[in-house]
Amino acid sequence: MSLRKKQNIMGWLFLAPGVILILCLSFYPAIQALMLSFKTGTGTNMQWCGLHNYMRIFQDKVFRQSIKNCLLYLIIQVPIMLILGMILASILNKPNLKFKGLFRTAIFLPCATSLVAYAIIFRSLFATDGFINAILMKLGILEHGYNFLSHPTSARIVIIIALIWRWTGYNMVFYLAGLQNIEYSIYEAARIDGANLFQTFFRITIPLLKPTILLTVIMSTNGTLQLFDESVNLTMGGPANASISMSHYIYNKAFQGVPNFGYTSAMSFVILIMVAILALLQMKVGDKRD
């Protein structure tokens, strides 16, 4: 046996455990879920129903509402979060800034916070007798406490604020890693040529961070469309499903009341198609390499 063949065999042997785990724990369940999406019934009494589950999705008002909610979170929260993350990364990347490690840790810390714990904190902050209402009443903006979580618009706003607070630091770390790969001499040359902060940011930082920006946009889009914890723990999908996410609704249909795994599998693949299409569009728009 030649040396090249031995190297190829050893390479596949090293890859085999990971490949087997991915096939067993990812691809096989996905194929089973796809087959299940064409069936209806419960338990072992599952019958083939064709495209009935997918046709039912278009008639489901709650699922249509969950799609609108996720798209609203995507349109508002993702741009704000990414812009804030980029600005903070640019500030914390300055070589002469003191206590950089402390600031970086403080901004990233919300990402390491337990999802349930931070949801409870935000529920307390925006409660009728919570800190936010106390501040607004002190300032004379409100006369009485306002129940943010019992009104559709304000409940969605609370979720958006919570998402921005939690995930801005996470994206900031990616931008910091990208900025540290940019030679600081480029910024010094731009400063000598008379470029101000805004020109440096838009003409140097953003173009050189383009691959990282594309990565964070795709990851944030994927995460927002699969939003679950905030909807469950923060607003419980209320009021009257006004803030429910797609994953939350799928969970309710699968594990609350009479389970309908065929229908929930169909909804899951609708989310998969949405994520794939948006990721493909973002890659086509963002990646201009020949």
Bridge partners for 13 per DSSP? none
Would you say residue 223 has pLDDT above 60?
A: yes
Q: What percent of the chain has pLDDT over 70?
A: 98
Band (197; pLDDT cuts 50, 70, 90): confident
Mean pLDDT of 27-33: 90
Mean pLDDT of the chain: 87
Q: What is the pLDDT of residue 70?
A: 93
Partners of 41 in beta bridges:
46
| 142-194 residue pLDDT tens | 888 888 988 999 999 999 999 999 999 999 999 998 888 888 788 888 888 88
Which pLDDT score, from 0 to 100, does residue 290 have?
Answer: 46
The sign of the dihedral angle between the CA atoms of 250, 256, 261, 262 is negative
In this prediction, residues 95-111 reach a mean pLDDT of 86
pLDDT band at 281 (very low <50, low <70, confident <90, very high): confident
Check residue 66 and give its pLDDT: 93
Least confident of 182-191, 224-233, 242-251: 182-191
| Residue range 275-287: mean pLDDT, rounded | 81
Which residues face 39 on adjacent strands? 48
Respond yes or no on whether the N-terminal peptide bond of residue 110 is cis (omega within 30° of 0). no
Q: Is the pLDDT of residue 102 over 50?
A: yes
Model pLDDT, residue 172: 92
Better-scored residue on pLDDT, 217 or 256: 217
pLDDT by residue (tens digit) across 51-92? Answer: 888 998 888 999 999 999 999 999 999 999 999 999 899 888
Contacts of 155 by beta carbon, 8 Å cutoff, 6+ apart: 148, 149, 235, 238, 239, 242, 243
Kindly tell me if the per-residue pLDDT of 119 is higher than 80.
Answer: yes
Quote the pLDDT of residue 174: 92
Band (pLDDT 50/70/90 cuts) for residue 289 is low
What would the two tokens of residue 244 be?
């429910």
Q: Has residue 139 got a pLDDT over 60?
A: yes
Query: What pLDDT is stored for residue 44 in this prediction?
Result: 66
Amino acid 171: pLDDT? 92
Nearest CA to 87 out of 103, 75, 99, 76 is that of 103
Share of the chain above pLDDT 90, in %: 29
Q: Which residues are within 8 A (CB) of 223 and not within 5 positions of it... i.e. 6 or more apart?
A: 167
Q: Which pTM value belongs to this model?
A: 0.86
